[in-house]
Every structure is written in C-alpha cells, then in structure tokens.
Amino acid sequence: MRNKELIEKLKIERALSHDEWLQIFDTWDADDLAFAIETAREIAVDRFGKKIYFRGIVEFTNVCKNDCYYCGIRAGNSECQRYRLDEEDILKCCADGYAHGFRTFVLQGGEDPYYTKDRICVIVRRITEEYPDCAVTMSIGELDRDFYQALYDAGARRYLLRHETRDAAHYALLHPAGMSIESRMRCLKDLKEIGFQTGCGIMVGSPHQTSEHIAEDMMFMTEFKPEMVGLGPFIPHRDTPFRDEPAGSVDLTLLVIALTRILLPDALIPSTTALGTAEAEGRQKGVLAGCNVVMPNLSPLEVRKKYMLYDGKVGTDMSAEAGIRTLRVQMEEIGYEVIVGRGDFNDKNSSIWEGRHR
Ligand code: SAH
C-alpha cells in the first residue's frame, strides 16, 4: 500500500501494524506530509471547531534530582541557576491566569525533593478550593503510586508524563542508569488506573531516534490511549551531553502530530513551545496539523530564563500578559479562536460542544 492509502486506513481503523508505521516513517515525502496534515486538520475541525484551549503553565521549580541527557535543568548542569516558587507565588500565577480566562493550570517542575507529597498537596488543594471551576494538571515526573493518589485526592485530575520513547535501548541512551522504561510505564499505568486524564509523548528527532522507535511509539499510543499527547522537536541545550546533537525536524514533528490526531481523534494535543522555538510559525503549523491546545507560560518573568529545558526557548523575555497576547494573535491569524473553559477530554458539556450535541 502507498503511504496515502495507509493514512486513509489509519483514519478508518485507528490502528496500523508495526511494519505499516515503519513504512510511513521510512519513506514519507512532502505529498504524504501534506495529506496527513489535511486529514488531521479535518478531523480536529470536525471534533472541536476552529477552537483552541489555552492552559496556563506555571514552572514552579527548576531543581531536579534527575540527569536526563537532553534536559537543560538536569541535576548535573552546574550552570543552571536554581529557583523555587513558594505557595504564594504559585497562587499569584494562578490568580493572574484566572483573570486572563484560564481554567486549567499546569504545575510543571523538575523532580524536586523539596516538594514532598504533603507540601505539593497543600498547594493543589488550595488551587482547587479557590478555583473550583478550574482543572489542575501536574507535570512533575516519576513518583510513587501513593503520591499520585494523594495528588488526585487533593483535586488534580490530569497528569503529563511523556514516555520519551517506548524502546528500552533508546530510553537508556537518553537517560542515565537508574532511570528505566519499566519505571516510566509503571507510572503511566498507575496514573491511568487512579483516574487521571493522562498524557504521554516524545521528543521528535531526539538523539539516536530511528523510524523504528517512532513506529513503536505509535503502537504504544494505540494501546495506551492517552487522553493527552505532548509532541515537540528535540532542541539541544548547550550545557548538556547532547549539546552537539542536531535539532529534530519541524516537518517530521508535524507528521507525527498529524498521525497522532488521526489515531486519537479526541485527544488533547498541545502545539508545544518547542515547536514554536524551532520555527517562528511553529505553533501555528502545529494547530493546522491537528493540535487543539496551546500552553502559555504564567511563570513570573524573573524565573523564566532559568527554566531553560533547551536553548532559545521562546517567551522567556516577555511577561505572562504579553505571551498570552502573542499567542492569541497567532491563533487569530490562522482563523482560530481561543476559548475559555476547562476543556476536559471528550467533555461533551464544555462550551466547545455547544450547538453540536444539544
Ligand atoms: N520533570 C518533568 C517536567 C519537565 S520536562 C518531567 O520530566 O516530566 C518536560 C518535557 O520537556 C520532557 O518530558 C521532555 O520531553 C521535554 N524536553 C526536555 N528537554 C528537552 C529538549 N532539550 N528539547 C525538547 N524537549 C525537551
């Protein structure tokens, strides 16, 4: 079968074989990419209209005990100036975000042992009590099942934990000994079982990644059925072991995004900051390839430059307000409207469904 026929088949069957995925990633051309993007966009517009959910992201700590080879805030980077936001700082970010219409707050950080289960749960509970109409999403890495359960009990309902790669050998090339794909999978399984809307995902073009690996990632997502998928190009950071590795390609990232949208029509897929960093119009291209979420940064300006996962990260030199404005304009330029609302997975009651399911 030709690649376009495989994409058609994916749209109908919501699955492909490993060899079919591999063929696409090994042999795709510009025509196939355009076809995948067009198909994905039709599906997204049919499901969500030309509407984009905004999530406010608060990067509340860049302290991390892990040493992932790709990441600028890895423990081993002594050039990184560390910071932590305290409870009041975090609440202030949420208040600003709320005033701008955000109804989802994403708390992201390094794996910072200072934020024990009790400390972080106090913060989550305060946010969910003060903003009962808002969703809290956590993105703080690998934790015990008890810890995840406590976060859920405190009111968090979504969790982002990219699997990074489904291939054990590739995983070991991206992370030091002590981190393993088994542990990552245990976390993702626990999160789903507890009841979180769960996000996985990969960096496209990460060092040592092959078509075979991306095919495995697609097979994994077919089976795992994540509610959210984070996809962005790998971008090197100068103070990491991967400083000299090439960045991932925007086109391949768009292909993976489009195919993920076709595979998982209802998924929440953000057009990522990394995509906007790789190319000025990257986030617009992401939306036109099937993304339906954008995550503006609500972190205080003073700390933004310190949360550098990769070089050149966009938005680190503007206020939350300016960042939101820029993204809103970018979305409007391509004919999309930013909407207020929690935007839960497959939530037929949210405003996005108005007029379609009454
Ligand atoms: N510590 C948390 C959240 C911060 S990292 C966690 O590990 O989940 C969030 C995501 O940023 C990672 O999952 C990774 O996929 C991405 N990331 C890290 N370094 C990157 C780089 N150099 N280029 C592109 N994306 C990167």
Give the pair of three-digit tokens for residue 154: 């405190």
Q: Is the CB of 157 under 6 A from ligand 1?
A: no
Q: What are the φ/ψ torsions at residue 135 (nearest 5 degrees)? A: -100, 140
Can you tell me whether residue 343 is helix, strand or coil? coil
**Measured in angstroms, how far is the CA atom of residue 213 from the centroid of ligand 1?**
18
Residues 6+ apart with CB under 8 A from 13: none
pLDDT in tens, 212-239: 999 999 999 999 999 999 999 999 999 9
Q: Is the CB of 309 under 6 A from ligand 1?
A: yes
Nearest CA residue ID for atom 12, ligand 1: 162
**Measured in angstroms, how far is the CA atom of residue 310 from the centroid of ligand 1?**
9
Give the pair of three-digit tokens for residue 199: 């996000």
pLDDT band at 355 (very low <50, low <70, confident <90, very high): very low
pLDDT in tens, 74-85: 999 999 999 999
Which residue, 66, 309, 312, 69, is CA-closest to 206?
69
Residue with tokens 């995925």: 21
Which residue, 234, 263, 268, 53, is CA-closest to 159?
268
CATH topology of domain 4-339: TIM Barrel (3.20.20)
| % of residues, the chain, pLDDT over 90 | 95
**Measured in angstroms, how far is the CA atom of residue 309 from the centroid of ligand 1?**
6
- Mean pLDDT, the chain, whole residue set: 95
pLDDT in tens, 133-161: 999 999 999 999 999 999 999 999 999 99
DSSP single-letter state for residue 164: B
Q: What is the pLDDT of residue 318?
A: 93
Strand 293-294 to 51-54 pairing: parallel
Q: What is the pLDDT of residue 347?
A: 58
* Residue ranges in 131-267 assigned as alpha helix (H): 145-153, 168-174, 181-194, 211-224, 250-263
Q: What is the pLDDT of residue 341?
A: 83
Confidence (pTM):
0.96
